[in-house]
A and B are shown apart, each in its own frame.
Chain A
Amino acid sequence: GQQVMQIPQYQHVQEGEDFTTYCNSSTTLSNIQWYKQRPGGHPVFLIQLVKSGEVKKQKRLTFQFGEAKKNSSLHITATQTTDVGTYFCAGRYAGNNRKLIWGLGTSLAVNP
């Protein structure tokens, strides 16, 4: 079946260190979205990637979509305590654009 695998499950970093979370699919995605959920909160949409090899930046966050459109990553440079939360990727597959297939998320903890 269609699955999106996300690693790592948890990550502890010192403030100022970089952080990366990865998502992988066994089949080609039509697009992939990234969300952030703060502790106790709800997921908030960050970005969508559509094109093969696409790279988008939002301040210290860099999002990449692989050339084969089967993997994606989110990289945070110089983490801050405000980056704490769980980051989810969610992909859509061609022919089933109604549904997002969610990764299980990466929980990021930042030590000040």
Chain B
Amino acid sequence: SQTIHQWPATLVQPVGSPLSLECTVEGTSNPNLYWYRQAAGRGLQLLFYSVGIGQISSEVPQNLSASRPQDRQFILSSKKLLLSDSGFYLCAWSVKGSNYGYTFGSGTRLTVV
């Protein structure tokens, strides 16, 4: 069966520090991968999505970047965190070429102080 791993679960980082959040998917190949941010426990904002290794689409101009170095690995990064980067970051995957639902990781709650 397919599983998605996302870590860490919580993170407190000072302003100006770098960030690296990792997400890996098991049990499937060539998935679509997504990074979302959820602020204030409400709506989901799509940050990046990827249809393949090295292919990243950015949805919102921001202080963040994403990379997909391997088929089932998706990384969210920042060189210098801002206070406004605080939020709940969710990685998700979906089967390519179909209309199945997204499967989300358990999320990383990031607080920038």
Binding site for B on A (CB under 8 A): 31, 33, 35, 41-48, 50, 86, 88, 92, 97-100, 102-105
By size class, the interface of chain B is 10 to 19
Instruction: Using A43-B90, A43-B104, A98-B32 as known contacts, say yes or no to A92 and B99 having CB atoms under 8 A apart.
Output: yes
Instruction: Using A43-B90, A98-B32, A98-B51 as known contacts, say yes or no to A105 and B102 having CB atoms under 8 A apart.
Output: no
**Residue contact A100 to B102, C-beta cutoff 8 Å:** yes
Across the interface, which residues of B come within 8 angstroms of A100, CB to CB? 46, 102
Complex: chain A residue closest to B105, CB-CB: A42
**Which of B46, B100, B102 has most A Cβ within 10 Å?**
B102
Instruction: Using A42-B107, A88-B44 as known contacts, say yes or no to A48 and B49 having CB atoms under 8 A apart.
Output: no
- At the interface, yes or no: B101 with Cβ under 8 Å from chain A? yes
Report which of A48, A99, A105 forms a contact with B101, defined as CB distance below 8 A: A48
Across the interface, which residues of B come within 8 angstroms of A104, CB to CB? 42-43
Chain A contact surface mostly: strand
Bound-state CA distance A5–B41 (Å) is 17
**Residue contact B49 to A98, C-beta cutoff 8 Å:** yes
- At the interface, yes or no: B111 with Cβ under 8 Å from chain A? no
Bound-state CA distance A43–B51 (Å) is 21
Across the interface, which residues of A come within 8 angstroms of B49, CB to CB? 98-99
**Residue contact B99 to A31, C-beta cutoff 8 Å:** yes
**Residue contact A99 to B99, C-beta cutoff 8 Å:** no
Chain B positions 35 through 58: 1 when the CB is less than 8 Å from some CB of chain A, otherwise 0: 000000111101001010000000
- At the interface, yes or no: B106 with Cβ under 8 Å from chain A? yes
**Residue contact B101 to A33, C-beta cutoff 8 Å:** yes
**Residue contact A102 to B51, C-beta cutoff 8 Å:** no
Complex: chain A residue closest to B44, CB-CB: A102
Report which of B32, B42, B90, B104 forms a contact with A105, defined as CB distance below 8 A: B42
Q: List 30 A-B contacts (CB under 8 A).
A: A33-B101, A33-B102, A35-B101, A35-B102, A41-B107, A42-B105, A42-B107, A43-B44, A43-B90, A43-B104, A45-B100, A45-B101, A45-B102, A45-B103, A48-B99, A48-B100, A48-B101, A50-B99, A86-B41, A86-B42, A88-B44, A98-B32, A98-B51, A99-B46, A99-B49, A100-B102, A102-B43, A102-B44, A103-B43, A105-B43
